[in-house]
Amino acid sequence: MFNIIISILLFLSCSPQDDQYKSDRESMVRRQIEDREIHNQPTLDAMLAVPRHKFVPSNLLERAYNDGPLPIGYGQTISQPYIVAYMTAAIDPKKEFKVLEIGTGSGYQAAVLSGIVSDVYTIEIITELYNSASKRLRGLGYKNVICKNADGYYGWKDFAPFDAIIVTAASEYIPPPLIEQLKDGGKMIIPVGSPFLNQTLILIEKEGEDITTTSLLPVRFVPFTRGN
Amino acid sequence: MKNGNAHLVRLSVSLALLSVSIIAFQLVLIQILSIVQWYHFAYMVISVAMLGFGTAGTFISLFRKYLLNKTDLLLPWLMVITSLLMSVSVTISQTSLFSFDSYRLFTDISQLWKLIATYMIFLLPFFFGALSIGLIFVKHVEKIGSLYFANMVGSGIGGVLAVGAMWWFFPEKLPAVVATLALFAGLVIIPKHLRPRFSIIVATAVAALSFFYISSPSLNVSEYKSISKTLNLPGTKIIKRDSSPYGTIEIVSTPYLRYAPGLSIKYPGMVSVNNAAFNNGDWLGPLISSKRDSLKYITYSTEMIPYIIGERNDVLVLDSGTGRQVNIALLNNTENVIAVEPNKALLNLLSGDFSNEVDSIYNNPSVQIRNISARTFLQASHSKFDMITLPIIGAFGGTSGMFALQEQYLLTKEAFGEMWSSLKDNGIISITTWIDYPYRNPLKIIASFAEVLEQNNKNPIEHIAAIKNWNTITFAIKRTPFKGIEIKVIREFCNKMNFDPVILPGIKADEREKFNKLQDKSLYTMIDKILASPEEREKLYSEYPFNIKPAVDDKPYFSQFLQWKSISQLSELFGNWSVPFFEVGYILLYLTFILIVFFALILIILPLVKIGWKGGNKFWALIYFSGLGTGYMFIEIIFIQRFTLYFGNVIYAAAAVVSLMLISSGFGSLVSQKLQAKPNRIIGIISFIVIALIIYTIILPSLLKTTIIFTLPVKIIFAALLIAPPAFFMGMPFPLGLRMLSERNESQVPWAWGINGLFSVISVVLATIIAIEMGFVWVMIFAAGAYSLSLLVNLRRA
């Protein structure tokens, strides 16, 4: 009987607005991600599950599932859903992975990773963003995400090495400590360019002493075939 | 009579003061908007705001009778209002309600409304100022020669005064300072019987301006500008702020900023933490000091390529900025470094208060500083160098056309040719660029050098080496062909550092992708095509959607890649909404033009409702005054462009040219007062102007090139001798035309004045479009064409 009451209450508390967000999210995953050739199932599932509207400023709620980045203050953005999916899929995340994220921002990327991998360690240098993101992640119950307010340049030695590192803020060079803290066979991904304009991604792979980088071409950018 | 003269003098003084104030305010606004946003937006906002002049012409046309009856009473009021609006508009524009962010313009509709509101706010002071000028002209059209003289001389002085004031005042203080002049302009012409009543108003205005000066608005800088992002880092603060006409320099102290472009992924140590300098909120460079940290990381960069293949004793660092390249040269034991940097304010800081922060490089006996533009140095110097180096091209991650409209004389084919001629036998030009996507910057650089080398009968493949990291490419262009041992050293360096050779004599395809792979490999095939032959290169130029043809002095827009013919192709490839993000500046330029033409048409047509559509002198007035407005502005722009290279400093060149032109034209206008306003007279004067323009089009470039080595005072005299004669005559047709019109149909005078103002505004934007699409020489040809039109309509009347 108690269970039935709880179920009724839950049903009643699920507002039409939440249904709308759910449908927006489904549409986002289908049109912005799957249609652009991202088929990594854990990534798609995680993007479907994470309520992106809880990570955007309240005045931008209606644009939470739009195909673009949104400002979160301090010159930072919550990335375009497609970029989040692309970065997540690029590291080919596995259940047992330990992932380091540099640049927590709103916490959205960490939340997406949280549903796929075992542990997420995320570092944010801007104190105000760290405070709001860590509170938000805690409040939404992402228990396998650990946040730190520090300079991402040094990585997080205490929990190194990592299976993958996601750098969410564009960086002019790859900090040597991050390379060091990447596991043998690990992958690191880093964006280049402005989030509001053209963003491409660089994938770094470490195999023993060998480190290679690949400048990835997001599938929305069709290559210039005549050049080939 | 005596009273009449005294009144004319007072009116002229007032007009001159108001003109000083308006021109100075315009320059101050450009400076402020360049700080809070970017130069493009400053340019766009000002262009639209200047429509205030045309609006005033239309307003006077519509309410002519009423306004002329009350002119004496209205003028002081209008000037006081102008003065207050100058201060108030800046303060309001910086509040969160109106402050827009250009970065979000294409993604957030609310920013568009804020932008439109900003236009309106800034249009107001120009409208009221122009209304005052227009009323004086229309009311006293018989004295237009003398009044136009006051207007022109005032405007000329305003330009110089604003540039001077920027050394003394921070930009946010300047609106109140220049507004004071508009207030004085009003004070001079308060009618005697109204002085007691006005004293309260004036006292209130003085109090208000003092308040705006003391509590000047804090500038609401875009959160996406480099400085804002840096200041978000904990413990980061501005430790020095200095204002100059070059912009506002800010030195930022931070415990977190590390700058290491092109750093090898193999570098094992730490990267030095730097303080940094910003100009108008944009990144200028790091303040590198070996006293704080080891600078070993610098040797793990693609930029080391010239140093690993030979000794570099004489190094020329062009646009040396905060001295990073100077520091690299000194770390590599260079004996003589010449650092060329045009920004005097920056040099003052780095050789003065902040000398220690940059290892006192600018006080190092091995370093000679040249405070001049790089191109002027290259043209005037006969020295030879082991190495010439330039700042990194583009911005990390691409600028998306933020600099598309910027004239970059250091990156033209002629500039690269001059660098080539300044090399010693073993000398190298070193140039690094960020790898952008779609590929543009590296392709244009390699195309420029390929053409320069072929012009010098060299095979580009033997003289160019390029190596890449994951995000940068460094090109080395050597005077003599690369030797086998040098090629070997480059390969070894690449292997050690995880770099890949991209261009190297005898390179194999797989070498290019050993460490840093590109998913889109067309970069290599396009580079090969550029180097293969002129035919292959030309074919690529025409096929590639972006403009990768080398920039030339006549079209010095290196960062302008977008072209109209490929917009549909790009939309197809990248999606409809992607195009503005490739090159915002280019798109905005055309948007601004369309916007201005649209409003201008409305403002030209509207008075016709009142003054009638047919008959009179309307066709004549329209062609004549639009031709004069267009021709004058085109010539002003062309002169600024030509003399920028000549003087080696864009700010002083612009100030000198504008002032010389306006003051000379002012005297021309004064003399015109003695002339009869007849078509034959006008035909003679305009014919002289057109002939002078044709001669200047042919001889000016070579004349300036030969005399560029003269000392500065000689150059100034020479420039005055070149500019003053045509400018003197260019000052005559406008007042003569207005007088002629007033004799035949007085009601059309304000309409004609408005047309002239509107076309002056349109011409500024149009000149940039012509320069980008066709080259500056065409701006000169169109200027001659515009004057010819004004001449032609008079032939019919002669």
Domain of residue B510, CATH code: 3.40.50.150
Q: How many separate domains does chain A show?
A: 1
- Residue B740 shares a structural domain with residue B706: yes
- Residue B391 shares a structural domain with residue B411: yes
Of A127, A151, A170, the CB nearest to B397: A170
User: Would you say residue A222 has pLDDT above 50?
Assistant: no
Active site residues of A: 79
State which residues form the domain around A98. 2-227
| Choice among A26-35, A77-86, B30-39, B645-654 with the minimum mean pLDDT | B645-654
- Residue B253 shares a structural domain with residue B193: no
pLDDT score, position B329: 93
Q: Do B543 and A194 touch (CB under 8 A)?
A: no
**What is the pTM for the complete model shown?**
0.88
User: Would you place residue A223 in the very low, low, confident or very high pLDDT band (cuts 50, 70, 90)?
Assistant: very low
Q: Please state, in angstroms and rounded to a whole number, the distance separating the CA atoms of residues A104 and B546.
A: 36
pLDDT score, position B195: 82
Task: Pick B125 or A209 by higher pLDDT.
Answer: B125
Q: How many separate domains does chain B show?
A: 4
Of B224, B435, B543, the CB nearest to A75: B224
DSSP B545-587: SS--SPBBTTB--TT----GGGHHHHHHHH-GGGHHHH-HHHH
Task: Pick A158 or B705 by higher pLDDT.
Answer: A158
Q: Please state, in angstroms and rounded to a whole number, the distance separating the CA atoms of residues B418 and B235.
A: 45
Q: Please state, in angstroms and rounded to a whole number, the distance separating the CA atoms of residues B645 and B369.
A: 19
Burial class (CB in 10 A: 0-12, 13-18, 19+), B239: middle
Is the Cβ–Cβ distance between B226 and A138 less than 8 Å?
Answer: no
What count of CB pairs under 8 Å joins A to B? 139
- Residue B140 shares a structural domain with residue B3: yes
- DSSP 3-state of B285: strand
pLDDT tens-digit profile of B583-629?
677 787 888 899 889 999 999 999 888 877 776 688 899 999 999 99
Question: Among residues of chain A, what percentage have pLDDT more than 70?
Answer: 84
Instruction: Evaluate whether residue B595 is within a structural domain.
Output: no
Instruction: Evaluate whether residue B590 is within a structural domain.
Output: no
- Residue B512 shares a structural domain with residue B413: yes
Burial class (CB in 10 A: 0-12, 13-18, 19+), A6: exposed
Of A173, A175, A198, the CB nearest to B581: A198
pLDDT score, position B648: 75
Is the Cβ–Cβ distance between B404 and B585 less than 8 Å?
Answer: yes
Judging contacts by C-beta atoms under 8 Å, the chain A residues touching residue B578 are: 198
- Residue B545 shares a structural domain with residue B437: yes
Q: Please state, in angstroms and rounded to a whole number, the distance separating the CA atoms of residues B14 and B297.
A: 61
User: Would you say residue A224 has pLDDT above 50?
Assistant: no
- Residue B516 shares a structural domain with residue B540: yes
Instruction: Evaluate whether residue B85 is within a structural domain.
Output: yes
Task: Name the stretches of chain B with pLDDT < 50.
Answer: 1, 396-402
Instruction: Evaluate whether residue B593 is within a structural domain.
Output: no
Q: Give the CATH number of the domain where residue A68 resides.
A: 3.40.50.150
Instruction: Evaluate whether residue B514 is within a structural domain.
Output: yes
- Residue B740 shares a structural domain with residue B648: yes
Q: Please state, in angstroms and rounded to a whole number, the distance separating the CA atoms of residues B291 and B360.
A: 11
Q: How many CB atoms lie within 10 A of CB A64?
A: 21
pLDDT score, position A225: 34
Mean pLDDT over each residue of chain B, to the nearest integer = 89
Q: Please state, in angstroms and rounded to a whole number, the distance separating the CA atoms of residues A222 and B575.
A: 10
Buried b (16+ CB within 10 A) or exposed e, B616-627: ebbebbbbbbbb
- Residue B451 shares a structural domain with residue B549: yes
Token pair of B561 as six digits: 């890649």
Q: Give the CATH number of the domain where residue B634 resides.
A: 1.20.1250.20
DSSP strand pairing (A210-216 vs A200-207): antiparallel
Among chain A residues, the shortest Cα distance to B514 is held by A212
Q: In sequence order, which ranges of B232-373 are alpha helices (DSSP H)? A: 305-308, 324-331, 344-351
pLDDT score, position A226: 32
Task: Provide the shortest C-alpha distance from residue B362 to chain A (in Å).
Answer: 27
- Residue B202 shares a structural domain with residue B255: no
Q: Do A213 and B104 touch (CB under 8 A)?
A: no
Buried b (16+ CB within 10 A) or exposed e, B82-113: bbbbbbbbbbbbbeeebbbbbbbbbbbeebee
Task: Provide the shortest C-alpha distance from residue A9 to chain B (in Å).
Answer: 38
Which residues have CB under 8 Å from B11's CB, separation 6+? B136, B140, B147, B150, B189
- Residue B44 shares a structural domain with residue B158: yes
Q: Please state, in angstroms and rounded to a whole number, the distance separating the CA atoms of residues B240 and B231.
A: 13
Q: Determine the Cα angle at A130 with ends A126 and A133, to 5°.
A: 135
pLDDT score, position A194: 59
- Residue B212 shares a structural domain with residue B341: no
Is the Cβ–Cβ distance between A133 and A54 less than 8 Å?
Answer: no
Task: Pick B566 or A64 by higher pLDDT.
Answer: A64
pLDDT tens-digit profile of A118-137?
999 999 999 999 999 999 99
Among chain A residues, the shortest Cα distance to B235 is held by A126
Buried b (16+ CB within 10 A) or exposed e, B126-145: bbbbbbbbbbbbbbbbebbb
State which residues form the domain around B236. 226-286
Q: Residues of B numbered 308-367 whose beta carbons fall under 8 angstroms of chain A's beta carbons: which are they?
A: none
Q: Residues of B numbered 256-295 whose beta carbons fall under 8 angstroms of chain A's beta carbons: which are they?
A: 256, 258-263, 265-271
Instruction: Evaluate whether residue B375 is within a structural domain.
Output: yes
Judging contacts by C-beta atoms under 8 Å, the chain B residues touching residue A172 are: 259-261, 396, 471
Taking Cα atoms as reference points, which of B38, B241, B59 lies closest to residue B132?
B59
Task: Pick B292 or A156 by higher pLDDT.
Answer: A156
pLDDT score, position B132: 96
At CB < 8 Å, which residues of chain A contact B?
A: 68-69, 71, 73-75, 125-127, 151, 153, 170, 172-176, 179, 192-194, 196-200, 202, 204, 211-217, 220-224, 226-228
